[in-house]
Structure 1
Amino acid sequence: MTAKAKQYGNESITALKGADRVRKRPGVIFGSDGLEGCEHSVFEILSNSIDEAREGFGDKIVVTKYRDNSIEVEDFGRGIPVDYNTREKKYNWELVFCELYAGGKYGQGGDNYEYSLGLNGLGLCATQYASEYMDVEIYQGGFRYEMHFQKGEPVGELQKEPTTRKKTGTRIRWRPDLDVFTAIDIPLEYYQETIKRQAVVNPGVLFLLRAEGDGGFEEFTYRYENGIKDYVQELAGEDTLTAVQYWQTETAGRDRADKQDYKVKLSVACCFSNRRQVVEYYHNSSFLEHGGSPERAVKTAFVYQIDAYLKQNAKYLKGESKITYQDVADALVLVSSSFSTQTSYENQTKKSITNAFIAQAMTDFLKRSLEVYFIEKPEEAGKIADQVLINKRSREKAENTRKNLKKTLTATIDMANRVQKFVDCRTKDVSRREVYIVEGDSALGACKLSRDAEFQAIIPVRGKILNCLKAEYDKIFKSEIITDLIKVLGCGVEVKSKANKDLLSFNLDQLKWNKVIICTDADVDGFQIRTLILTMLYRLTPTLIREGYVFIAESPLYEITTKDKVYFAYNESEKADMLREIGSQKYTIQRSKGLGENDPDMMWMTTMNPESRRLIKVTPDSVEETATMFDILLGDNLAGRKEFIAERGQDYLDMLDVS
């Protein structure tokens, strides 16, 4: 060994203490040490103010975003208790701001907060630990309290003085620490989205967001008098299939037989629409991005009850398959807001809950609510059933279309399913196989005579290929030329469309070629065909370009013949150089003929022979530039095309086929 082995013994074990428990491992508490974790630390402070308002203490919360990335949250609740705690033998400010798993939410039966957004006793302390500084001002019991923290440590003593202010409450200002988080510049959109969501699930509470800018503070207010019912109406708009329904209930139960019962409050607002589809879940005011128990309940209950209605009313066709949740969701606008005195979050970030009892209670509640709704509103029930069936049959038709298209485009090329006029090569070694995409039957004939049949295949483009930059996918795949080309490639296509994202699965391992070579005449028509083929590949198989499988066979512009030798010049500069090299020898010079007119030896030498041909690789660096040029020359960018012609048109005048 070249270095002394590190010792690992009893003294190697260490424990993080105090603020380091958060400052050195913020991801454990906040889910990330990046901007997302920083955002969650803000939500932890906001959660405490929301809990106070929900318990009936204060109906206004003010959040201020300052230009220096500091944040302030002010509420008008009871104020955080910070005086001496005789039971714990410590000041409450030490417990709340400097002790993890300490707070007012651990009392038996939920004495202080029956339904709390912050249950774990981590948020306020953890955010203080993760702050560059934190300033706290509290009004409670006729006194004003003030304290300061820096880098997770208290600065000075608790300041306490009498006050004549009658309103109680808490104001906390802090700046997240860049020594803890990699980014702290939280965008305004995060505050707007988060605060709006809280206004939705806390009916009647006024949220005021203040954002400091160059011209002072911009203010945004959020308040939903009827909570999720008003929100669903806002999401769905006026033109809906059904009116907004609102259902609520309270119950109690346990997740396991050996556990204690806990209370649950459920509320759901929903309607059906053929224009909007939105489903959101909240628990104890926290937006459940990943759903969990409420999502399972909604999926089970809605599919069960709508399927039962379809069966009872003979809506299904004979032999027709059952609806899925996706068929329901495509017409559903729903927001659920649940609360419980005990909550099992998937993790501290509270984006999913796992309570088994909540899932079962909500499933039963929704089944009963839907059953009654369908009986009381038969006309709306019929509309819902018809729309869900429309969604189901549209989905099935699209799936069948995708399956058939995939089968068509990835079918094996054999004698029973041969692409028209495709000429294959003999070798099955993909590392050697090359396919030439050529224009027309005459070029096919010339290339076929001059190629090496062992490893070179040819497919002709018959007629003008579709401009894939502007066409919709359904039109693209109706083109026989394009589907034949995709069949020959063998790797499927990549479709960058949400509506068609699973149209075909692209698999680079299924590519049948080591090189895909575009070979067209060196004239205006040839350039256009080349561009259209490149456009097709860029739109449907961009990975082939990025991975370097696509090439352009460069055709010579001039053929210069002397007594002893034939020269090929690929541009004007090469022509001039060759003429200088020839010197006083007699020669003839002519523009190269089209591919179909060249003799096999000339085609082999200039276009097919790997030793002497010139191939231009379409490189990854050129993809974006190519896309921009495609848009100018072939897309809808008319202004760009006009500008390009005005600025660069003269460069191409010598290429025009005019007399």
Structure 2
Amino acid sequence: MAELTDVTYNEDSIRSLDWREHIRLRPGMYIGKLGDGSSPDDGIYILVKEVIDNSIDEHMMGHGRTIEVKISDHKVVVRDYGRGIPLGKVIDCVSKINTGGKYDSRAFQKSVGLNGVGTKAVNALSSSFRIQSVRDGKTKVAEFERGELVKDEPLQESNQRNGTTTVFVPDDTIFKNYHFIPEFLENQIWNYVYLNAGLTIHFNGQKYLSENGLKDLLSRKIAEETMRYPIIHLKGDDIEVALTHGNDYGEEYYSFVNGQYTTQGGTHLAAFREAVVKTVKEFYAKEKKDFDGTDIRASIVGAVAIRVQEPVFESQTKTKLGSINMSHDGQSVRNFVVDFLKKHLDNFLHQNKDVAEALRKRIEQSERERKDMAGIKKLANQRAKKANLHNKKLRDCRFHFGESKELEKEALTTLFITEGDSASGSITKSRNVELEAVFSLRGKPLNCFGLKKKVVYENEEFNLLQHALNIEEGLEGLRYNRVVVATDADVDGMHIRLLLMTFFLQFFPDLVKNGHLYILETPLFRVRNKKETIYCYNEQEKQNAMRKLGKNPEITRFKGLGEISPEEFGKFIGDNIRLEPVIMGKTEQNIQKVLSYFMGKNTPERQQFIIENLKIEKDIVEEVYA
């Protein structure tokens, strides 16, 4: 205690940060986690969103029907054709905190955000930032570097159309080794056009627009042949919903507030799930049917979008709608959503008997499957509960997803699924015990393609894995934000990856669709001399490293994860971790078709593909040196 009293604490200890310093020192407060672009909620995508949101708000107010977006590896350009920022306030709007047009509710009704922070955060976190406004024949341009004004051009005459152009490059000292993944950007763009009728976005030369809103969203997310009935699409004042049932296990939802994709749901999504169960249950009660809520929601694919004034989100990134004082024109958001569905969904089912009949059959199928699993499920859960007391397969971490209000910490909660004891040993010794857990497989897991879900309970390893993740009843209890498959980069390792991906896609597709499943990339080679060590992830990187280090460097080929020492492994799963997200693209909408092709019996189509694409070592070497 004596040592503590020696610390000097006086007026000089108190420090005030300006807006730019505070954003750069605590970026997580403004954009959530940083990341390298391998997750759809990484900071670089939040920066893009914050800029486009301003253009969307202009469109919602009736100004500008087109937005142009160009994104290369590191540079982002957004041009809208709205009113343009008032020329005398261009610099203030992007560099003075709590400055913006959205505080004037007469100018912006039901906008995406009201915090006046978005573009300031983009400015502060960009190595270069340029803003240009064109308004009534005049233009104003300002340029910044990491939030510092470096160029303030005087007003000039202009013959361009009114609007705002924003150009920025995320700061690579903050977003280390970042890269934009096209699929994530494309999903962002699609969401904007689904939610804004009449809006066209030109993204990297492609044209995006939607005529049917959330109905188009579900059509893109679920293949028509897997729908149990045509999409139910309902619209009202400030609310739109769409839903259908498919054949996949789990529940799949997309929720939006004022055009913002609330990836973590919130009040409106909870109300939507409640309202669907309540309305459907009451509808079939007239037929003397008493369905369970879990059977009604099983295999559902739904979307809900609402617009409210001054929404309260649980963080600046606006991924979850809060529940405190939330209302829509004086009515609570919950009651607003429930009352809408109670009236309009009930009317729809009465008016469309064929849809009501198909829905009833889907619910009854889920009911049969649930009862069929009841016995084995009870026994398996009892075994899992005993195993959890001394679960040698799981080396858990201290913090879990959903247990902390710190977005950066929550985002980094990770479960590594490893192959064998040697690999799990290296990761276990080098991991961050606060945030990273390890689940060890004893060998190749079962190929579960085409099997019923009860195999998850009958197979001890699958059952323990589902309990480790806590996803038996859905994603609400998910304990880790990132589920990372960590296998050797050889034929057996690739096979294990496929078997695990089959398991998740077959029984927990929502885990994959919500962006939680990744593949760990580990180096294949270590190239070093006495001064420098370079880790290489492919043959091309190895050749580059050899040229850089000069004559006769030492080259080590890592054949398996167990060969990498814990000290070295720590370098690959820390700040420099390379993760490859498992992304459900448009071509993979019908999960069963994809799994049948890769994991079904040896089909002629797969044989032919292998024959046509087989490469011998000579071809690979020629490609590397080409």
Number of the residue aligned with 1:155: 150
Number of the residue aligned with 2:47: 41
Matched-pair contact (CA < 8 Å) for 1:54–1:202? yes
The residue type paired with residue 222 of structure 1 is Y
Query: SS state of the match for residue 357, structure 2?
Result: helix
Matched-pair contact (CA < 8 Å) for 1:44–1:118? no
User: What is the CA-CA distance between 1:373 and the residue it aligns to?
Assistant: 1.7
Quick one: which of 353, 358, 366 aligns to 1:383? 358
Q: Determine whether 1:371 maps to 2:376.
A: no
Number of the residue aligned with 1:78: 83
Number of the residue aligned with 2:241: 268
Comparing 394-403 and 41-50, the one that deviates more? 394-403
Tell me how far apart the structure 1 counterparts of residues 449 and 275 of structure 2 sit (CA, whole Å).
Answer: 36
Comparing 174-183 and 299-308, the one that deviates more? 174-183
Q: For each residue in 1:636-655, what CA deviation from the matched residue of structure 2 results, as whole angstroms up to 9, or x when unmatched?
A: 999x9xxxxxxxxxxxxxxx
The residue type paired with residue 342 of structure 1 is E
Query: SS state of the match for residue 102, structure 2?
Result: coil
User: What is the CA-CA distance between 1:498 and the residue it aligns to?
Assistant: 6.8
The residue type paired with residue 224 of structure 1 is S
User: What is the CA-CA distance between 1:144 and the residue it aligns to?
Assistant: 2.0
Query: SS state of the match for residue 218, structure 2?
Result: helix
Number of the residue aligned with 1:186: 180
Tell me how far apart the structure 1 counterparts of residues 468 and 28 of structure 2 sit (CA, whole Å).
Answer: 37
User: What is the CA-CA distance between 1:478 and the residue it aligns to?
Assistant: 12
Tell me how far apart the structure 2 counterparts of residues 374 and 476 of structure 1 sit (CA, whole Å).
Answer: 30
Matched-pair contact (CA < 8 Å) for 1:402–1:503? no
Quick one: which of 272, 283, 295 aligns to 2:269? 295
User: What is the CA-CA distance between 1:29 and the residue it aligns to?
Assistant: 0.9
Higher relative contact order (CA 8 A, sep 6+): 2
Query: SS state of the match for residue 316, structure 2?
Result: coil
Number of the residue aligned with 1:336: 304
User: What is the CA-CA distance between 1:65 and the residue it aligns to?
Assistant: 1.3
Number of the residue aligned with 1:105: 102
TM-score normalised to the size of structure 1?
Answer: 0.56
Matched-pair contact (CA < 8 Å) for 1:129–1:151? yes
Tell me how far apart the structure 1 counterparts of residues 453 and 110 of structure 2 sit (CA, whole Å).
Answer: 55
User: What is the CA-CA distance between 1:294 and the residue it aligns to?
Assistant: 1.5
Within 5 Å, which residues of 2 pair with 1:593-632? 621=562
The residue type paired with residue 383 of structure 1 is A
User: What is the CA-CA distance between 1:499 and the residue it aligns to?
Assistant: 12
Tell me how far apart the structure 1 counterparts of residues 452 and 92 of structure 2 sit (CA, whole Å).
Answer: 66
Query: SS state of the match for residue 19, structure 1?
Result: helix
List alignment gaps of at least 5 residues for structure 1: 84-91, 211-218, 251-264, 317-321, 413-466, 487-491, 505-534, 541-618, 624-634, 641-659
Quick one: which of 105, 110, 113 aligns to 1:115? 110
Q: For each residue in 1:532-591, what CA deviation from the matched residue of structure 2 results, as whole angstroms up to 9, or x when unmatched?
A: xxx99xx99xxxxxxxxxxxxxxxxxxxxxxxxxxxxxxxxxxxxxxxxxxxxxxxxxxx
Q: Determine whether 1:323 maps to 2:292.
A: yes
Q: For each residue in 1:573-619, what CA deviation from the matched residue of structure 2 results, as whole angstroms up to 9, or x when unmatched?
A: xxxxxxxxxxxxxxxxxxxxxxxxxxxxxxxxxxxxxxxxxxxxxx9
Tell me how far apart the structure 1 counterparts of residues 375 and 168 of structure 2 sit (CA, whole Å).
Answer: 57
Quick one: which of 146, 149, 172 aligns to 2:166? 172
Equivalent residue pairs, number: 415
Number of the residue aligned with 1:95: 92
List alignment gaps of at least 5 residues for structure 2: 37-41, 327-331, 388-442, 473-494, 501-559, 565-600, 611-626
Matched-pair contact (CA < 8 Å) for 2:384–2:467? no
Q: For each residue in 1:232-262, what CA deviation from the matched residue of structure 2 results, as whole angstroms up to 9, or x when unmatched?
A: 2333443433333322223xxxxxxxxxxxx
Number of the residue aligned with 1:52: 58
The residue type paired with residue 180 of structure 2 is I
Tell me how far apart the structure 1 counterparts of residues 272 and 453 of structure 2 sit (CA, whole Å).
Answer: 38
User: What is the CA-CA distance between 1:340 and the residue it aligns to?
Assistant: 1.3
Return closer, same or farther for 1:469/1:235 CA change in 2, 3 Å cut-off. closer
Q: For each residue in 1:414-434, what CA deviation from the matched residue of structure 2 results, as whole angstroms up to 9, or x when unmatched?
A: xxxxxxxxxxxxxxxxxxxxx
Tell me how far apart the structure 2 counterparts of residues 136 and 473 of structure 1 sit (CA, whole Å).
Answer: 52
Matched-pair contact (CA < 8 Å) for 1:323–1:389? no
The residue type paired with residue 46 of structure 2 is H
Comparing 394-403 and 188-197, the one that deviates more? 394-403
Quick one: which of 244, 258, 265 aligns to 1:284? 258
Matched-pair contact (CA < 8 Å) for 1:77–1:169? yes
Number of the residue aligned with 2:619: none
The residue type paired with residue 221 of structure 2 is L
Superposition RMSD in Å: 3.9
Number of the residue aligned with 1:614: none
User: What is the CA-CA distance between 1:148 and the residue it aligns to?
Assistant: 1.1
Return closer, same or farther for 1:470/1:172 CA change in 2, 3 Å cut-off. closer
Tell me how far apart the structure 2 counterparts of residues 397 and 162 of structure 1 sit (CA, whole Å).
Answer: 74
Q: Determine whether 1:64 maps to 2:70.
A: yes
Q: For each residue in 1:494-518, what CA deviation from the matched residue of structure 2 results, as whole angstroms up to 9, or x when unmatched?
A: 54877998799xxxxxxxxxxxxxx
Q: Determine whether 1:209 maps to 2:209.
A: no
User: What is the CA-CA distance between 1:15 and the residue it aligns to?
Assistant: 1.3
Number of the residue aligned with 1:453: none
TM-score normalised to the size of structure 2?
Answer: 0.59
Number of the residue aligned with 2:543: none
The residue type paired with residue 9 of structure 1 is N
Query: SS state of the match for residue 117, structure 1?
Result: coil
Number of the residue aligned with 1:223: 209
